[in-house]
């Protein structure tokens, strides 16, 4: 599955040890006088940006080209922007296009096609002023992300964004989280507004924040990071444009900024330990919620097990459940389907949340057909020939999943893909493959065990015992 924006971003952060995001805002009037003085303007713009990328690619986590500085030159400027974005990808650095798009209906869809299909950006800034439907076309692109304007860094932002009680920017920070999960939607909050940064971080603890304003706009690095970093010393992009682009030595300027940011991160959070992956955090949260247990348990098959994955508990922990749903959505979004199908009954809450998040219809096959009412074997509206993606919590041998899918296939539904949160790695994948089904597991039991041992949540003795059980 192709990596999404957040995966690319985390990889770049780890590789470059940096939260620095360089803004590519080329102003020809600020170029050195001897920089290709006789070349056409758009050729100079492109060459200038490519030179910055070449000098800084190993120092940054993201590039943020501002589309206006390219669009002003018409078709040639657009072509230059495409080549600049391609160069960022070639350097293995994700691209967040600063375009501040915001419209509704077919217009928003056209903007989204331009940003993601034509320009191939990984993320884009958007205006939430028109509401959910103005953002939805951008969120429909799997793996892509949007950053909604929340509290901007310009001097008069407060005239509108602090209006009301609660202020408008707080309303955006709360409401917009319902529009997309943490890998799809983040916020733009100016580094010049540390109080607003702290408020948004408190309201949206797991969202990425783009915090412009450091450098020429006067934002204080320490104040901004103190307010905006998440608990892991990450979760925040610090975009800087002019202070890098027009420095006497852009590479030295970028290095200095990166090191300055890292010094503050170290003081604040001790970030120098490896940044955890999203899967690591999910595993630890499931463990803390009691969804992964160790002892002696009897499984549905009648066999005993030293480990038990009880995902029915997750609905009692809203933050963990939201993360689980987001993980399902990230996988499901990349699959072809007409319906979300829950394997009864443990997966019903997650499947319902995924269907609601994606705005797609849901159904589920019953374990038993009711003797009263309609007597249907499948609950929900569908037509024979339509495709369903099955969602289950855990797969062991694959028996319950196969039974549920057979019920759906008997009713004329096509099912090829099964998405589970945890694969116990006890034959389920092979059993489903024999029936022509593709298993997509968010986590495996091995990943869970390795993570819990690495984080010292279980002993080496318990780890070895469970590994012996799984091997047998």
Looking at the annotation, which residues are catalytic? 100
- Rounded to whole angstroms, the Cα distance separating 224 from 108 reads 32
Torsion of CA 252, 257, 263, 269, to 10 degrees: -140
- Rounded to whole angstroms, the Cα distance separating 153 from 156 reads 9
Of 268, 238, 271, nearest in space to 20 by CA? 238
User: What is the DSSP secondary-structure string of 181-233?
Assistant: -TTTEEEEE-TT-HHHHHHHHHH-TTS-EE---BSTT-B-HHHHHHHH--TTS
Neighbours of 438 (CB within 10 A): 14
Hey, what are 132's tokens?
Answer: 């959910």
Strands (E), 49-115: 62-65, 96-101
Q: Calculate the alpha carbon distances from 280 to 170, 230, 443 in Å.
A: 29, 15, 10
Torsion of CA 277, 283, 288, 290, to 10 degrees: 170
End-to-end Cα spacing for the chain: 31
Hey, what are 108's tokens?
Answer: 């928003």
Q: Calculate the alpha carbon distances from 360 to 174, 327, 355 in Å.
A: 23, 17, 5
- Rounded to whole angstroms, the Cα distance separating 337 from 416 reads 9
Torsion of CA 88, 89, 94, 95, to 10 degrees: 60
Output DSSP code: residue 66: B
Where does 91-183 have alpha helices with state H? 105-112, 132-139, 158-161, 168-175
Contact 205, 231 (CB under 8 A): yes
In the block, residue with structure tokens 């892509």:
144
Helix (H, G, I), strand (E, B) or coil at 333: coil
């Amino acid at each position: 599955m192709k990596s999404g924006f957040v995966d690319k971003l985390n990889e770049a952060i780890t590789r470059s040890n940096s939260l620095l995001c360089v803004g590519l805002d080329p102003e020809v009037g600020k170029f050195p006088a001897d920089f290709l003085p006789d070349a056409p303007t758009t050729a100079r713009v492109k060459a200038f940006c490519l030179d910055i990328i070449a000098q800084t690619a190993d120092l940054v986590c993201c590039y943020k080209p501002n589309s206006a500085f390219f669009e002003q030159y018409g078709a040639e400027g657009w072509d230059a922007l495409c080549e600049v974005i391609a160069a960022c990808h070639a350097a293995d650095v994700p691209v967040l296009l600063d375009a501040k798009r915001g419209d509704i209906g077919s217009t928003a869809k056209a903007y989204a096609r331009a940003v993601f299909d034509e320009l191939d950006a990984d993320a884009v800034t958007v205006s939430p002023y028109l509401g959910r439907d103005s953002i939805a076309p951008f969120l429909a692109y799997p793996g892509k992300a949007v950053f909604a304007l929340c509290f901007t860094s310009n001097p008069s932002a407060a005239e509108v964004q602090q209006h009301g009680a609660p202020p408008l920017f707080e309303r955006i920070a709360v409401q917009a989280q319902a529009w997309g999960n943490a890998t799809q939607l983040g916020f733009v909050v100016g580094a010049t507004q540390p109080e607003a940064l702290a408020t948004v971080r408190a309201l949206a603890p797991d969202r990425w924040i783009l915090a412009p304003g450091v450098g020429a706009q006067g934002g204080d690095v320490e104040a901004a990071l103190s307010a905006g970093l998440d608990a892991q010393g990450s979760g925040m992009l610090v975009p800087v444009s002019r202070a890098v682009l027009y420095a006497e030595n852009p590479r030295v300027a970028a290095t200095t900024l990166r090191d300055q940011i890292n010094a503050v991160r170290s003081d604040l959070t001790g970030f120098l330990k490896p940044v955890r992956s999203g899967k690591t955090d999910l595993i630890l949260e499931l463990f803390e919620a009691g969804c992964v247990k160790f002892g002696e348990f009897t499984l549905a098959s009648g066999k005993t097990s030293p480990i038990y994955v009880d995902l029915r508990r997750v609905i009692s922990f809203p933050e963990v459940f939201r993360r689980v749903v987001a993980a399902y959505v990230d996988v499901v979004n990349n699959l072809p389907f007409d319906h979300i199908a829950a394997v009864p009954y443990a997966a019903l809450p997650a499947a319902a949340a995924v269907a609601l998040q994606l705005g797609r219809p849901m159904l589920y096959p019953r374990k038993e057909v009711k003797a009263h009412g309609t007597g249907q074997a499948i609950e929900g509206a569908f037509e024979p020939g339509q495709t369903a993606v099955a969602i289950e919590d855990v797969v062991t041998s694959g028996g319950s999943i196969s039974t549920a899918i057979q019920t759906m296939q008997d009713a004329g539904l096509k099912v090829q893909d099964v998405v589970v949160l945890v694969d116990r790695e006890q034959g389920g994948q092979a059993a489903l493959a024999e029936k022509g089904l593709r298993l997509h597991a968010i986590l495996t039991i091995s990943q869970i065990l390795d993570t819990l041992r690495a984080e010292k949540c279980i002993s080496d003795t318990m780890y070895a015992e469970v590994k012996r059980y799984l091997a047998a």
